[in-house]
Amino acid sequence: MDDPVFGTAAGEGLKSVSGINIPAHVLAQLQADYIKEAGQIWNDIATRIQVDGSVKIALSDRRFAANDWAQYPAAALTAQLYLLNARTLLRMAEAIECEEKMRQRIRFAVEQWIAAANPSNFLALNPEAQRKAMETGGNSIAQGIAHLLTDLQRGHVSQTDHGAFEVGRNVATTEGSVVYENELFQLIEYKPLTAKVHARPMLFVSPCINKYYILDLRPDNSMIRWVVEQGHRLFVMSWRNPDHTGAGKTVDDYIEHGPIEAMRVVLDITGSDKLNALGFCIGGMLLTTALAVLARKGASPVSSFTLLTTLLDFSDPGVLALFVDEPSVQLREMTIGERAPGGPGLLTGSELANTFSFLRPDELVWNYVVGNYLKGETPRPFDLLYWNGDSTNLPGPLACWCMRNTYLEDKLKLPDVLTVCGEKIDLRTIDAPVYIYGSQKDHLVPWTSAYRSVALLKGERRFVLGASGHIAGVINPPRENKRSYWLGNALPEDPQQWIEQATEHPGSWWTDWGNWLHRHAGEKIPAPKTQGSGRYKPIEPAPGRYVEQKAWASRKHE
């Protein structure tokens, strides 16, 4: 007998043409549980209907927190059946017998469908939005349409009030000057905040997939300002947001004219023999690759380097691996890669932003669809979400190289397999102490994968695990005394063995890193009176022009 919920006979199991299936006994149990819970929901609502036709029922899901959902029988029934369907579909996804990566993809697709099918996303099913439309005489709907048109122009759903922020005015405000620029990046030197600075300068290699000012949102949570306050002469790379004129840039371009060039200029300006460097996320991968290229050339410009939430070993690269397989990479190579028939293209910032947002669809997409469009609300100001929406484009050849050689084929960790800037690279040739940081709840760079960098690098290594996620774990100033971090005395090969012997410490990991960095920063010398040097004179005040270029504005001119 066919079941109305699953559309197949319970005794046969659920099978597809690819051979993926749910065992018959599991499917039968799922069907039985579904029918039982659906009956309970119906009976519960029927017994709670009041004389005036309303119901009083508790809906714990925050998406249905408004009284409108709990008050009306039809709305309450719709919400509870939706939640039941969602639970059942997720149980089905988990029960499928298939290879693990396929199961993860199925689970991800099911989660996307569940998030999109939420009745609160539709005006006809959302009693809260309907009530607001009636109370405002339809003005909320008109305002929602205006928000929608604006977001269509931007290329993404707004998560904050963009008008509340301006780069250089109330975000990215640490004082400094642009002292060098080429077609890929501007180099910012920050004004010292101490009478003396360490002799060896500090260089931050920011991720080219985001704007650098995540490290300089506000004075009280700015990692850039904190480092300057510790007496370091700090330089930061601010990547240009490429338009169609930069669409053909390759990984060789980004390494040679990115971190390698930045290190050369910093050493030239300061006159130091070595510098300390930090790479965040993909900036860490670019920095490490650059150091491996220089090592093959016989150069070792760093006294130490720091990797924040960085992948070098891509054997378990997190949720982004779900988007990468051979057909998808080949498609990218044929459309935006070096050999694309129409010439190289861009992996647009809007596509990147939307991809990252849909990793958490309820919180970062549909929540704002409901608020912005159905209710006509302007999202509240939030600097982190403003930065999150300030997306960047990537040149197609660079994006394709990264997708194939890291996420798909995991070649970066293999000695002498990849050639970059004409050199066979081997991460083991980098001769410098390294501080490796991972975030405990990072869904983009699992901490266990960040830990695997320990085995790929030689010399003095220190691994630190911070609480929270990809961004919140990194941006954790000591003055707030929040969260915690873990340190271990040994560095076993297995990350689980490391965490078993690690000790948790309250507060910010910045203090531990600051103490470690102090040992590699050299003696204290008088702070420079001005930024730059006789050869590299200040071009403009920080944050500079490059960071102000919007991805959606670049797209309009293609």
SS3 411: coil
Question: Would you please indicate which residues are annotated as catalytic (active-site) residues?
Answer: 281
Using CA atoms, how far apart are residues 438 and 445, in angstroms rounded to an integer? 8
Residues 235 and 121 in one domain: no
- The answer to the question of residue 471 being in a domain is no
In this structure, the answer to whether residues 107 and 226 fall within a common structural domain is no
Co-location of 316 and 410 in the same domain: yes
Residue 300 and residue 370 in one domain: no
Asked if 218 and 283 sit in the same domain, the reply is yes
Residue 444 resides in a domain: no
Concatenated DSSP letters of 188-256: EEEPPSSSEEESS-EEEE--TTS-GGGGSSSTTT-HHHHHHHTT--EEEEEE----GGGTT--HHHHHH
Residues 148 and 218 in one domain: no
In angstroms, the CA 537 to CA 265 distance is 12
- CATH number of domain containing 334: 3.40.50
Q: Burial of 163 by CB count in 10 Å (0-12 exposed, 13-18 middle, 19+ buried)?
A: exposed
- What is the extent of the structural domain holding 375? 142-161+349-384
Of 350, 348, 336, nearest to 393 by C-alpha is: 348
User: Distance from first CA to last CA of the chain, Å, rounded?
Assistant: 57
Distance between CA atoms of 243 and 231, rounded to whole angstroms?
A: 37
pLDDT value, residue 215: 97
Same domain, 355 and 256: no
Residues 358, 267, single domain; the answer is: no
Q: List C-alpha distances in Å: 182 to 114, 177, 178.
A: 46, 15, 11
In a domain, 8, yes or no: no
CB 35 within 8 A of CB 14: no
Asked if residues 272 and 200 have their Cβ atoms less than 8 Å apart, the reply is: yes
238 and 207 within one domain: yes
Domain assignment present for 473: no
| CA pair distance 78, 80, nearest whole angstrom | 6
Same domain, 87 and 156: no
Query: Quick check: is 489 in a domain?
Result: no
pLDDT at 72: 86
CA–CA separation, 495 vs 274, rounded Å? Answer: 32
Residue 51's pLDDT is what? 63
Q: Would you state the pLDDT for residue 19?
A: 54
Could you tell me if residue 417 is inside a domain?
A: yes
User: Would residue 99 count as lying in a domain?
Assistant: yes
pLDDT in tens, the chain (558 residues): 344 333 444 334 444 434 568 889 999 999 999 999 999 998 988 888 776 667 777 788 889 989 899 888 899 999 999 999 999 999 999 999 888 888 889 999 999 999 999 999 999 999 999 999 999 999 999 999 999 999 888 878 999 998 899 999 999 999 999 999 999 999 999 999 999 999 999 999 999 999 999 999 999 999 999 999 999 999 999 999 999 999 999 999 999 999 999 999 999 999 999 999 999 999 999 999 999 999 999 999 999 999 999 999 999 998 888 889 999 999 999 999 998 999 999 999 888 888 888 989 999 999 999 999 999 999 999 999 999 889 899 999 999 999 999 999 999 999 999 999 999 999 999 999 999 999 999 999 999 999 999 999 998 999 999 999 999 999 999 998 999 999 998 999 999 999 999 999 999 999 999 999 999 999 999 999 999 999 999 999 999 999 999 875 444 434
Name residue 321's amino acid: A
Count of domains for the chain: 3
Q: Tell me whether residue 486 is in a domain.
A: no
Query: Does 72 share its domain with 147?
Result: no
Which helix (H) or strand (E) is 259 found in, with range? helix 259-270
DSSP structural state of residue 167: B
106 and 56 inside one domain: yes
